[in-house]
Structure 1
Amino acid sequence: MAINKLNALLGSVLAVILCGCTHVNEYGAELPYDAWRLGFLAPNYMEVWIETANVLDVKGRVFGRAMSGVAAIQTPPNFRGNPRGWPKRPGDGAGKYVWRADVPRLIYVRWQSLAEPQTYEAFIEIPEATRNAMLEIKQNTYCRGTKEWITDHRELLVIGLAPGGIAKTWIRGLCLDPIEVSRVQGRIVEKGPDLGRTNGQYALELEPESRAYIDKFGIPYDSW
């Protein structure tokens, strides 16, 4: 029964997302900070274009296109980067603050993996334990960078997108260690980039450093 309810919820949310509709009421969210941030990153050289990332919060409100565009990435010359695996302390990623939203219940992301190239989509559930951690206030947190004690929150939600349709999620604070949320296997979007509206044309060409790395070493699918 629980699975059927979840499938029904995902279906209704997907219908809203794909039609481009949003429903945001005027009531403020009950957060210990002004807004939480949604950020995206990709492994070195494995460039990503995010078509859309949409949020369903715990109050049932959908925030369409909370993020789109390029994911944060490094493309060092002379093959000095290593795309295998994920960093122990992922950065904020490229992203935006999601204003007026409460903590997220579900995130839908559709992206172009330019390294392959292929288009994927994924639903990322945010468990209750994660939502509670996003609301928790950490008093007297020590920042190694600034060598100061501060009050911190895990208001940064970071998603790593990798070839093969992998979506890895963490929450972190400015000076708090990241907590892993989930690893999700996305599915191929059969209509292709931009839901078929670009006749198979991807948003961007790979940077020369990325193309050179992939031509020489390939894509380490088994590492994410």
Structure 2
Amino acid sequence: MRSLLLCLALALLGGCAHADKGPGSLPYKYWRLGFLAPDYMEVWVETADVEDIRGQKFFKMGGGVVAVRNPPDNRGNAAGWGERFGWGAGRYVNGADLPKRIYVRWQSLAEPQTYSTIVEIPERARQLMSERLEKPCHTSEYREALAIGLAPGGVIRGWVMSTCGGPTEVFRAQAAVEPKGPSQGKTNGQYALPLKPESRAYIEQHGIPYGSW
């Protein structure tokens, strides 16, 4: 009873620990951040750091290889992103509110080149992530995933999506070349991984389709 009275008193003064977060907050426990690349255009993410709308910072929310298809015998198509794709390789950002900005640094292994940028997440993305779907499916009621596409030339695209709907694009951006090179210059210019044979064969035959992303 004493704790209940204390909570009620705190609520009158400005809220207690168990009160709802309020407008603009997540209507679900956490959202997912994932990364992907066009066919054969392999990418290694060095870091992805998140800042939410409350000013909280979450470091190393992405790293390593991204989701990319490497069909043998050049059966894939590196140009464009296609109409449908998955959430990308990533993780849930536990404890974060809706995203405000994301810092990403990655190695474009297909070129090779290293890029970095700070993406300001638009308000439209947060609105879509917090709105309940008009036709929820049995696995999802919200667009709880933010997928980021990384392409050669420093092209970066972002989509929000649920488990049962297609992607909705929310931003496009252009990253800058990272002057220190891969791994902030700590590897003497050595990139994280060599290209897979399928990717190398495709690029040797078709080149890199700059301008298609």
Distance in 2 (alpha carbons) for counterparts of 1:100 and 1:185: 29
Distance in 2 (alpha carbons) for counterparts of 1:215 and 1:158: 28
- 1:106-117, aligned counterparts within 5 Å? 106-117=101-112
Deviation, structure 1 residue 131: 0.5
Distance in 2 (alpha carbons) for counterparts of 1:150 and 1:223: 33
Structure 2 length as normaliser, TM-score? 0.86
Distance in 1 (alpha carbons) for counterparts of 2:170 and 2:71: 29
Distance in 1 (alpha carbons) for counterparts of 2:149 and 2:95: 24
Structure 1 counterpart of 2:197, one-letter code = P
Q: Does 1:78 align with 2:78?
A: no
- 1:120-131, aligned counterparts within 5 Å? 120-131=115-126
Match of 1:176 in 2: 165
Q: Does 1:200 align with 2:195?
A: no
Deviation, structure 1 residue 140: 3.8
SS in 1 for 2:73: helix
Q: Judging changes above 3 Å, is the alpha-carbon distance between structure 1 residues 197 and 128 closer, same or farther for their aligned structure 2 residues?
A: same
Match of 1:16 in 2: none
Structure 1 length as normaliser, TM-score? 0.82
Structure number, greater radius of gyration? 2
Match of 2:31 in 1: 36
Q: Judging changes above 3 Å, is the alpha-carbon distance between structure 1 residues 195 and 31 closer, same or farther for their aligned structure 2 residues?
A: same
Out of 147, 151, 173, the residue aligned to residue 162 of structure 1 is 151
Deviation, structure 1 residue 139: 5.0
Whether the 8 Å CA contact 2:139–2:163 is kept in 1: the answer is no
- Gap regions ≥5 residues in structure 1: 1-25, 143-148
Match of 2:89 in 1: 94
Match of 1:221 in 2: 210
Distance in 1 (alpha carbons) for counterparts of 2:134 and 2:172: 29
Structure 1 counterpart of 2:101, one-letter code = L
- Gap regions ≥5 residues in structure 2: 1-16
Match of 1:119 in 2: 114
Deviation, structure 1 residue 120: 0.2
Whether the 8 Å CA contact 1:106–1:125 is kept in 2: the answer is yes
Structure 1 counterpart of 2:199, one-letter code = S
Match of 2:62 in 1: 67
- 1:5-44, aligned counterparts within 5 Å? 30-44=25-39
Distance in 2 (alpha carbons) for counterparts of 1:45 and 1:151: 30
Structure 1 residues 35-94: Cα deviation after superposition (integer angstroms, max 9, x where no partner): 100000001110000000110100011111111010100101100000100121231100
Identity level (%): 55
Structure 2 counterpart of 1:118, one-letter code = Q
Q: Judging changes above 3 Å, is the alpha-carbon distance between structure 1 residues 67 and 150 closer, same or farther for their aligned structure 2 residues?
A: closer
Q: Judging changes above 3 Å, is the alpha-carbon distance between structure 1 residues 140 and 111 closer, same or farther for their aligned structure 2 residues?
A: same
Q: Judging changes above 3 Å, is the alpha-carbon distance between structure 1 residues 138 and 201 closer, same or farther for their aligned structure 2 residues?
A: same
Structure 1 residues 170-203: Cα deviation after superposition (integer angstroms, max 9, x where no partner): 0001112321111111000011001101110000
Structure 1 counterpart of 2:40, one-letter code = Y
Distance in 1 (alpha carbons) for counterparts of 2:153 and 2:178: 12
Whether the 8 Å CA contact 1:119–1:189 is kept in 2: the answer is yes
Distance in 2 (alpha carbons) for counterparts of 1:87 and 1:151: 23
